[in-house]
């Protein structure tokens, strides 16, 4: 599991592990818990151009369907096929094996939250 305090967050309950001009993206443990048991994940394919704020995937649970929003303008460099094959990874390890996509970007994302800011947002 990744150190949650080292990550950046979006108000849409996604986390980013930024390394230079690329980021690994997933949903937060808070979001995974609120969704309930995840049963289906649809992710964009490698090479897909994404635009910040647009829907790029879907996460379906026994309770509801959630949308995955692009946190940055960029290109998908990898999608986690393990999560597509075993959606429960989103619940069991949202900050580790449950990552969703890796993206490359030219400009650093705006409006990201620190762990302290995100935890205040969700009341943790």
Tokens of 10: 């979006």
**pLDDT tens digits for 71-81?**
999 999 999 99
Quick one: pLDDT band at residue 110, thresholds 50, 70, 90?
confident
Q: Which domains does the chain have, with CATH numbers?
A: 8-106 (2.40.50.100)
- Which pLDDT score is estimated for 3? 84
- CA dist., res. 38 & res. 22, Å (int): 26
Q: For 87-104, b where at least 16 C-beta lie within 10 A, e where not — what string?
A: bebbbebbbeebbbbbbe
Kindly report the pTM of this predicted structure: 0.93
């Amino acid at each position: 599991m990744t150190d949650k305090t080292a990550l950046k967050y979006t108000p849409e309950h996604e986390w980013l592990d930024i390394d230079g001009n690329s980021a690994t993206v997933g949903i937060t443990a808070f979001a995974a818990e609120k969704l309930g048991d995840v049963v289906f994940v649809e992710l964009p394919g490698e090479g897909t151009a994404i635009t910040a704020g647009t829907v790029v995937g879907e996460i379906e649970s026994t309770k509801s369907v959630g949308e995955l929003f692009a946190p940055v303008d960029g290109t998908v460099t990898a999608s986690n096929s393990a999560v597509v094959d075993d959606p429960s990874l989103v619940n069991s390890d949202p900050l580790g094996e449950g990552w969703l996509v890796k993206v490359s970007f030219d400009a650093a994302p705006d409006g990201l939250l620190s762990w302290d800011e995100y935890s205040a947002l969700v009341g943790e």
